[in-house]
Structure 1
């Protein structure tokens, strides 16, 4: 009978679309031993769990779950936001956002909730969702009726594609799936002709309309490379840069 670890291993192998042979080669082990681990006929060592987690590119929370299932303590910390150890992380986020002003910049968590933002972003957010949600997908949906984003269809379809990619990488996520479902079921998204979206562009910006001002911005997304905390390590910093002189001048004023 498969063990809890064996079931987790098999599920993730299927998510990553590996055969047992593929995964055994990636993890530098025998396919026979891998089969025994999945079936519960063998128990993994801590080192083997870590090796398979690396081969499967498991998110840190999933790697902790696999360790727990195999009878080992989690290796990646899960600290509270106010933990002293995370102070340098928060300082780095604040510094990046502050230095990016007056252009918009914000930090989001795994579920696209805005956890920090600079003045440029706060201005856009206040226009797109006054007093409303602090979640980028919810803001995108609520902004549709405002004619604030000129190329809303394009932005919505690309955001949906990004959401679905993240869900696959995480091996499923109920919260992200709910957000993707809300966006994909939006009547305007359902009517989008994908053939009408020009993907043959070096950069696809988000184009805002603020009165007579047409603001064209593209995003650069940064993530921490060495933060091991399960939540802080998933924080992304998105910095928006101007595509033209008009946009540069607007934010400069």
Structure 2
């Protein structure tokens, strides 16, 4: 949500939205935050104006992401509490170098860095094993990792058990959109659901009972089986850095490990 979007948005309405998203009543939040339900009601209706410390306190109790905390601060008439840099800003140069070391250290297996909307920020050389299966038109401009995964000209035609894997990605994005303050996630979710409907797949389908859901790719060099982990930075105090994530892929069988070592090792 930008400053322009915030125009006309009240602190009370934002507070009520986050409380509702966390499935808390005013009494629940009051007990949790040691604030009277009556005072919370006054804050939500605009009868009381919060202090800066109260905004930060309620944001913490509601586990609001840093972007959302800034929005609450501005709606209450205060300056943002947290910085927000572009990923390519000079101030983040050392962080970018460190993240680059993580990508390089994960070779010969694919790894990528994405922002809060799953837009690709960087990847290592082994990431080519995924992107080479995608229509080049999807790899121009801003590249979205989830769009590339489920687009009919992306990875989707090459994924075995697409129904299960696609439902997993959509379910993960749905949970993220519910908890996040990042704009655009719901639009991306609707787009991905549309791809599944067009393919005759059920976006609400649940994965089978298994420990890890692998990504099985029908690659020209043979089927590759991978699983991934998603890591975030610890204790970030910048909006951009809080939303950055590293998705690292690992071989799920010996054949995939051997192929990746021989090609990228």
Which residue of the partner structure matches residue 31 of structure 1?
Answer: 37
Which residue of the partner structure matches residue 251 of structure 1?
Answer: 260
- With normalisation by structure 2, the TM-score equals 0.87
Q: Secondary structure at the match of 2:138?
A: coil
Distance across 2 between alignment mates of 1:138 and 1:120? 19
Mapped contact 1:107–1:238 kept (Cα < 8 A): yes
Stretch moving more, 92-101 or 197-206: 197-206
Mapped contact 1:15–1:171 kept (Cα < 8 A): no
Matched, 1:181 2:190: yes
2:105 paired residue among 99, 108, 111? 99
The aligned runs of 1:13-162 (5 Å cut-off) are 13-133=19-139, 134-140=143-149, 141-143=151-153, 147-162=157-172
Mapped contact 1:128–1:142 kept (Cα < 8 A): no
User: What is the alpha-carbon root mean square deviation over aligned residues?
Assistant: 2.3
Distance across 2 between alignment mates of 1:145 and 1:40? 49
Taking structure 1 as reference, are residues 195 and 68 closer, same or farther at Cα in structure 2, changes over 3 Å only? closer
Q: Secondary structure at the match of 2:34?
A: coil
Mapped contact 2:152–2:195 kept (Cα < 8 A): no
Taking structure 1 as reference, are residues 71 and 112 closer, same or farther at Cα in structure 2, changes over 3 Å only? same
- With normalisation by structure 1, the TM-score equals 0.90
Which residue of the partner structure matches residue 6 of structure 2?
Answer: none
Matched, 1:235 2:244: yes
Give unmatched runs, 5+ long, in structure 1: none
User: By how many angstroms is 1:142 displaced?
Assistant: 3.5
Give unmatched runs, 5+ long, in structure 2: 1-8
User: By how many angstroms is 1:46 displaced?
Assistant: 0.9
